[in-house]
Structure 1
């Protein structure tokens, strides 16, 4: 092996990537238990889908009697983690999706998609698509009895926000259920050329991570799945949902890309509204790390209002 093959090329709290292509996961979150959460009043369960991949989803159902007077909207949620780490069943994402289900009064389907590098992108996109189709089919009793498949939403943070975008694009050329709304929370986009306000060193790191997760990306971060604004990317006017909410943190290293994405969608000529919400003074996915802070509560309230149609 080359003497430089074990050189660390990226190191963060969650993982370490080596030049050889090896990766160490430094944080392996414990699996949050399912069942009734007395704080949110939401109950949860895991369901294994019937595919060859053995993919599972975690369902969240509000148990307040008020929620059972009518069918509830359904949210399909995709967690973040750079396509490399995290889980729908980690305590962090379990808590967030349970809080979202309680606050918005929705049935939530949190997707445990396959991770790179063991399963390189597009495995995550394929799993997300399968989960959307499964959710719309209402095969599970919670979805059949309590979910309103006519009010279907997609949501995700960071890499999960990127997944939302790519699912919407795929829905423009493959049969898909009607998607009422899409919520992109600090979505991860990139590119080989920096945009205004973007730090070049950070952009290069993000491009390297993308290429690690998606070794088939022949143009690196200018792959249309990572950079929706490249000239040959599918037109943003084709994003297949009735309305969108794009959220960013003012001090997020992704903020410049998120603003550029929002501006491009706004001027694309797509039918349906697109809204912007920026959390002043906050960084990347801060709402996961400090969910009880005032800004996190403001963001959750905005998401709830969006689902309600405001």
Structure 2
């Protein structure tokens, strides 16, 4: 039981609590904020749009303000927010702060996808939503659509399409890259590059400095969250969607982009998984430009949660420089 008087089915503190009546209480995440015609700090313009009515998918689009008065094409980034697949939002305060700064520094068009959250919408729904969002963006590349002028070819250079994400969003980005590599995107558009920041990967067998005690290991949020958001997943915590290096997983040589940036944080529980993924890509035979960046003495998603710190500013500049 809890203070509401309802019986708890599952809770992963300090993130989320699920009750036996099916209701969900999200304990983490920052407040929702509206878009801005001109962000006071960066001058970036943003607005919210509907990507799809069925399924219900929306997005927040960011545009450097000077682009509204120019017909000059710039890179376009499709972004997937983090939050363990079960909390946070593309419309949150911290995500909006991060997106405004990244958009300004990168001088790019950015589309941040608002996908449906588990456990109400268990995985793989979020992967489908984000794939739909990316396909909607690239559908504007043929010059025949006036559906969304900010994503139209007037501003966006569809030869410079990027995707990115942090934590669970980086996991989504990886799975999107695998799908793009095998199926391709609309209008023959190619993903030029992707950045995966503090990717949420895990597995049953401990690596590096990870906890070795198997009983205690299964109590970690990295494990219990996956069970909550994808209860029917084949292979459990070793499904290739969460453990892309597990024996039998599809070859990482199939990643559908030509540039890839992996970022890890020195004090992040997921650090060793990110490095393992980087090494696996390097050894897979993937034909692309690969880079690993580690920010020592920092924690998971520091560049979003503590967006105004010196290290956050440096890291956001590094991500922006990748979008060329």
How high is the TM-score relative to the length of structure 1? 0.92
1:210 corresponds to: 226
Q: When the two structures are aligned, how many residues end up with a matched partner?
A: 303
- For residue 274 of structure 1, give the secondary structure of its aligned residue in structure 2: strand
Higher relative contact order (CA 8 A, sep 6+): 2
Aligned counterpart, 2:151:
143
Partner in structure 1 of residue 206 of structure 2 = 194
Report the Cα distance in structure 2 between the residues aligned to 1:72 and 1:179, rounded to whole angstroms: 14
2:303 equivalent in structure 1: 287
Conserved? CA contact 1:111–1:128, under 8 Å:
yes
Alignment of 1:275 with 2:291, yes or no, is yes
Match of 2:74 in 1: 72
Q: What residue in structure 1 maps to residue 113 of structure 2? A: 111
Aligned to 2:88: 86
Partner SS state of residue 173, structure 1: helix
| SS state at 2:191 partner | coil
Contact 2:201-2:273 at 8 Å conserved across structures? yes
Whole-angstrom CA distance in 1 between matches of 2:157 and 2:67: 17
Q: Whole-Å Cα distance in 1 between the matches of residues 170 and 223 of structure 2?
A: 17
Q: Distance in 2 between matches of 1:20 and 1:66?
A: 48
The CA distance in 2 between the partners of 1:24 and 1:128, in whole Å, is 24
Q: In structure 2, what is the equivalent of residue 30 of structure 1?
A: 31
Compute the displacement of 1:293 (Å).
Answer: 1.5
How far does residue 68 in structure 1 lie from its aligned partner after superposition? 3.2
Instruction: Find the counterpart in structure 2 of residue 306 from structure 1.
Output: 322
RMSD: 2.0
Change in Cα spacing, 1:62 to 1:50, as seen in structure 2 (3 Å) is same
Q: After superposition, what is the alpha-carbon deviation per residue over 1:120-148, rounded to whole angstroms, capped at 9, x for unaligned?
A: 01110001100111111124101112111
Task: Give, in angstroms, the shift of residue 43 of structure 1.
Answer: 0.5
Moved more, 19-28 or 78-87: 19-28
Correspondence 1:131-280 to 2 at 5 A: 131-138=133-140, 139-144=147-152, 145-176=154-185, 177-200=189-212, 201=216, 204-205=219-220, 206-280=222-296
134-143 vs 83-92, which deviates more? 134-143
Whole-Å separation in 1 of the counterparts to 2:42 and 2:248:
45
Write the distance in 2 (CA, Å) between the matches of 1:191 and 1:282: 23
1:11 and 1:17 in contact (8 A); partners too: no
Match of 2:126 among 120, 124, 127: 124
Distance 1:65 1:134, change over 3 A: closer
Q: Is contact 1:60–1:109 with CA below 8 Å preserved after alignment? A: yes
Q: Secondary structure at the match of 2:169?
A: helix
Per-residue CA deviations over 1:61-81 (Å, capped at 9, x if unaligned) read 001369936201000000000
Q: 5+ unaligned residues in a row in structure 1: which ranges?
A: none
For 2:238 and 2:59, the matched residues in 1 are separated by 31
Q: CA deviation at 1:21?
A: 7.6
Give the match for residue 16 of structure 1. 17
How has the CA–CA distance of structure 1 residues 28 and 282 changed in structure 2, closer, same or farther, with 3 Å as cutoff? closer
What is the TM-score normalised by the length of structure 2?
0.88
Question: Structure 2 CA distance, aligned partners of 1:235 and 1:8?
Answer: 35
Which sections of structure 2, spanning at least 5 residues, go unmatched? 1-6, 141-146
